[in-house]
Chain A
Amino acid sequence: MLSIFEGFILLYSFLLISSYILLAVLSIINIVRYKSYNSETEDVILNNSAYIPGVSVIAPAYNEEKTVIANVHSLLTLKYPLFEVVIVNDGSKDKTLEKLIKEFELVEVPFNYVEKIKTKPFKRIFKSKNPKYDILTIVDKENGGTKADASNAGINASVFPYFLCTDVDCILQENTLTKMIVPFLKKGKKVVAVGATLRMVNSCELEGGRLKKVKVPKALIPRFQELEYMRAYLLSKFGWSLINCVPNVSGGLGMFDKEIAIKAGGYDGKSHAEDMDMVTRMRKHMFDNGKENVVDYIPLSCCWTEGPPDRKVLGTQRTRWSSGLIQLFTDHRKILFNPKYKLMGLVVYPYAFLFEFLAPIIEALGLFVLIILMLFGQINWAMAGVVFLFSYSFAILISLLIIILDNVVHPYYDSYKDIFKLIIAAILEPFIYHPLIVFYGLKGYITFLRGKELNWGSMTRAGLN
C-alpha cells in the first residue's frame, strides 16, 4: 500500500515538474513572439482610428466607500477613443452610493435597462450632470450576494460590443484598453476573452489615481501574493495561451466579447469562481455551436489591485476561491476528459483538476503519511533530505525565472532592493505562504461540501493613498 502511494507521489511530482518546465518553454516562446510583433505604435494607430470598437469598463462595487471615488476617477482617465465606465452598486450597506452621487453629481435617468442576463432586481441608473463625467453610468441594484450577479447587471447596462470586467479597487494602466483589444482585432471573431497580468498595488506610489512608481509590497503576505501572481500569469496563463489552453481570465481584469458572453448566459450568479466559470461557459457555448474559439493573454501588467494585508483577509479570499474551484468541477464535470471540447476537455480541465484541485489534498495526505512514518521510524532521512532540497530549489528556480521574464517583458522594478525583496519572498514562500494556501484550500473544499453560504468576494480594504 505504502509503495503504491510512493509510486503515485513520484509520478505526480514528475508530471508537475515536467509541466512547469514545459510552461516555462511555452512562456518564453510566447514572450519573444509578443515582443516581436507588438509595438507602442499600435496605441497611436488605435487612438486615431474611426474603426475602433467601443469598450464598456464594468466594475461592481460592494461596500467600497474607502476606495471607490479614487478608483472611479482612475477608470475615467483611461486612454481609449470610445469607452464608457459602468459601476454597479450591488446594494452596498455603507456610503458607496452616496459618495458616488456627491462626487460625480449624479442624477437618476430613465435608462432603458434591458435584462439580457437575469440578475437580482435592478433599481435605477444614474448619470452625471457634469459633462466631464458623461461616460460614467452608475447602476444601482439589490444585493445579489456575489460579484457575478453585479457584473451581469453591468453587462445589461453596457452599450459596446466588448466589455472589460474589473474590480472597483483596481488601478488600471492608462493604455489597458488599447493593449487588451488588440488580440480581438487581430485574431477576429473567434476570440472570446483576453486577459492580462494583475499585480499588487499595496506599496506602489500613486498620483491622481495613476501609478507613479511600482514597488514590491512591504508586508510579507501581499509580497508573496505578488510573486504568486507573477508566476500564475506569466508562466502559467501566458504559457498556456500559446497553445490556446488558458484556463481562465481573472475576475480582476478580463476583456470579453459581449455577444458571446450574453449567449453563454453571462456570469453564474451562484458561482464563487465566476471568472473561470464564465470562460468555461463561453467556450462551451462556442464548441456546442461548432465554432472555433480562442482565449488569449497579453503578458503586460495592466492592473494593480490591493492584496490581502494579513492572514485573516488572505484566509477569506482563498477559502472563497477554493470553494469556487470545487463548485466549478462539480458544475462542469462533463467537460473533464471530454474530446468534444478539444483541448479544454483534454488538457485545460484535467490539468486544473490534477494540479490545482487535487494539490492541497495530496499535500495534506503526504504530510499525514510523513507523520505516521516518523512515528514508526520508517523514514529514509538521507533520501527525504535530498528530495526536499530538490523540490525546494526547483520552486526557487521557477520564481527566479519568472522575475527575469517579468523584467524582459517590461522592467517594472528598477531598483535592486525590490528585486532582492522578491528573491527573499521566493526563498521564504514554501515555509510561510504555501502551507497557508494549502490550509485555506482544504478549508474552502470543506466549506463547500458542508453547503455553507459564502458571500460577496470583497475584502477589507486598507484604502489607497
Chain B
Amino acid sequence: MINEFWEFIVGVYYMAETFPLEIFIAFLLVINNFIIFTFLLMLLGFLLLRSNLLNNKIRNVSPKLEVFFDKVLRDSNKYSDDFIVREYHELIKKRTSLNYKTSIEVMLKLKEKHNYVEENINRIFSVLSFGKFLNKKTSGLSPRQTYKVINILKELEISSENFNILPLTESKNKEISKRAKLLYLLFNGEKSYDFFSAIEDEITQWDLIELMRSFEKLKEKGELLSLHTWVLNCSNKSVISFLIKGIGYFNQVENSGLIIEKITDENEDIRVAAIEASGELMLREVEYILRRRYKSETFQCQKAIIKSIKKLNSGDSLNFLEELFNETHENEIETSVINTIYSYNGEGRNLFKKLKKDAKDSKLSVLKHVETPLIKFKEYA
C-alpha cells in the first residue's frame, strides 16, 4: 500500500517534470501547500486533543483541591506538614507540572474570594514545594514564564525564599522589571521605595492602579510609609504627581505642608494632583487659596478646584460658586458648580432655588439635571 502510494507520487513528479518550468514551479508550490495543510491539520487535532484532556483533568481535580486548600488555609495550625503533604499527594496522584499549575491557580482563585492569613499561604507554599516548582519555571529563558511567576507571587502576596526577585527588578524586559518592582515593594520596606527615584518613564494609568493596589496592601499590613520623602527626592514629574495622589488617597495628613506647597507647582499634572489631594485631606485652610487661584488656572486645575471645594463641603465658597456659575459658559464647569452648591444642603439649597428661579435655557437645564435623583453619575458630566 505504502509502496504503491510512493510509486504514485514519484510517477506524478516525473510527469510534472515534463511540464514547462513555470508550470513545474507552480506544481511544486501546490505540493508544498498540501504538505503544510497536512501538518496544520495534525497540529489542530493535537491541540484539540490536548486541550480536551487538560480540561477534563482540571475539571476532575480542581473541586477537590479547592476544598483541601480552603481547609488548610483557614486553619493551617491544625494540620501537620506531613498531613498536608500526604493529603495533597493523595489528591493529585502524580507530581506533574499540570497538577502544580492547577493547584496554584486554585489557590489564586481562593485568595480572591477569602482573606487568608499571609503566613498560612506562605507555609502551604513552602511545605508543598510550590516555590521550587516556580523557580524551575523561571530558570529557563522564557520571559513569559518569569512574568507569570512574579504575577502569582504578587497576587498571593508571598515572598518565596527560592525566588530572588531583586535581579529581576533590573531586567531589560520592561514588563518584568515593573512587575518585579511591585513585588519587591510589598516585602522590602523602605529601601524598595527608592525605585521611585529611578523611574524614568511616565507613570501610566495602569501603573497607578497597580501601585495604589500595592500601597493598599501595605496599608492593610500597617507598613505603608509616609510618601513625602520620595516626593522630595524624585525628579520625574509623573512620579511626583502619582505620589501626591497617594498622599491624598491614603490620607497622610502629616504631609499637608507639602501638598499646599505643590498647589503652586509649575507642572499642571502636579498641581491637579495637589489640589485634589487638598480636598481628600480636608485642608480647609487651602480653600481660600484655591478660590484665589481659580481664574489664573488651566481648565484641568479649575475642574480640580471645584472638585476639592465640593469635598471640603465648608459652605464658605457659596458666593464664589454663584459668581462662577453666572460667568461661565462651559457646561462641564456649570454642572460641577451646581453639583457642589446642591451638595451643601441648607444654604446651598437656598442658593440653588434662587438660581433656578432666575435661570433660563441651558443654565436652567443644568439645574434641573442636577436636582433629578433618577439621573446618575452627575459628577462625571
Contact = CB atoms under 8 A, between A and B. Distances in A.
B147 A36 contact: yes
B223 interface: no
Chain B CB within 10 Å, residue with most, of A52, A54, A182, A389: A389
A188 B380 contact: no
Interface string A134-165: 11000000000000000000000001100000
A397 interface: yes
Interface string B327-346: 00001000100000000000
B204 A187 contact: yes
A400 interface: yes
A383 interface: yes
Interface in B27-78: 27, 29-30, 33-34, 36-37, 40-41, 43-44, 47-48, 51-52, 55
A8 interface: no
Contact of A407 (B47, B143, B155, B374): B47
Contacts of A408: 47
B205 interface: yes
28 contacts: A32-B144, A39-B151, A41-B108, A41-B155, A44-B155, A45-B209, A49-B213, A51-B209, A52-B209, A84-B377, A112-B368, A127-B375, A128-B374, A129-B374, A185-B205, A185-B209, A186-B206, A382-B23, A386-B23, A393-B34, A394-B33, A400-B44, A404-B40, A404-B47, A411-B47, A414-B48, A414-B55, A416-B48
Interface string A181-194: 01011111000000
A188 B155 contact: no
A46 B209 contact: yes
A414 B249 CA distance: 46
A51 B241 CA distance: 14
Nearest to A48: B213
B372 interface: yes
A389 B377 CA distance: 60
Given A45-B209, A50-B212, A401 B40 contact: yes
A35 B144 contact: yes
A182 B366 CA distance: 33
Interface in A35-67: 35-37, 39, 41, 44-46, 48-54
A187 B201 CA distance: 12
Interface string B294-310: 00000000000000000
B331 A49 contact: no
B148 interface: yes
Contacts of B19: 382
Contacts of A404: 40, 43-44, 47
A341 B335 CA distance: 38
Chain B contact residues (Cβ within 8 angstroms of A): what range?
Answer: 35 or more
Interface stretch (A103-111, A202-210, A446-454): A103-111
Interface residues of A, number: 57
A44 B112 contact: yes
Given A112-B369, A135-B376, A411-B51, A393 B37 contact: yes
B67 to A, nearest CB: 22
A390 interface: yes
Per DSSP, are chain B's interface residues mostly helix, strand or loop, or mixed? helix
Interface of B: 19-20, 22-23, 26-27, 29-30, 33-34, 36-37, 40-41, 43-44, 47-48, 51-52, 55, 108, 112, 143-144, 147-148, 151, 155, 175, 202, 204-206, 208-210, 212-213, 249, 331, 335, 362, 365-366, 368-369, 372, 374-377, 380-381
A51 B37 contact: no
Interface in A285-337: none
Contacts of B41: 400
Contacts of A389: 30
B377 A386 contact: no
Contacts of A84: 376-377
B37 A390 contact: no
B273 to A, nearest CB: 12
Nearest to A43: B112
A26 interface: no
A280 B170 CA distance: 39
A408 B44 CA distance: 10
A169 B36 CA distance: 39
A159 B205 contact: no
A419 interface: yes
Given A182-B206, A383-B23, A393-B30, 11 more contacts: A37-B175, A110-B368, A127-B376, A134-B376, A184-B205, A185-B206, A382-B23, A396-B37, A397-B40, A404-B44, A407-B51
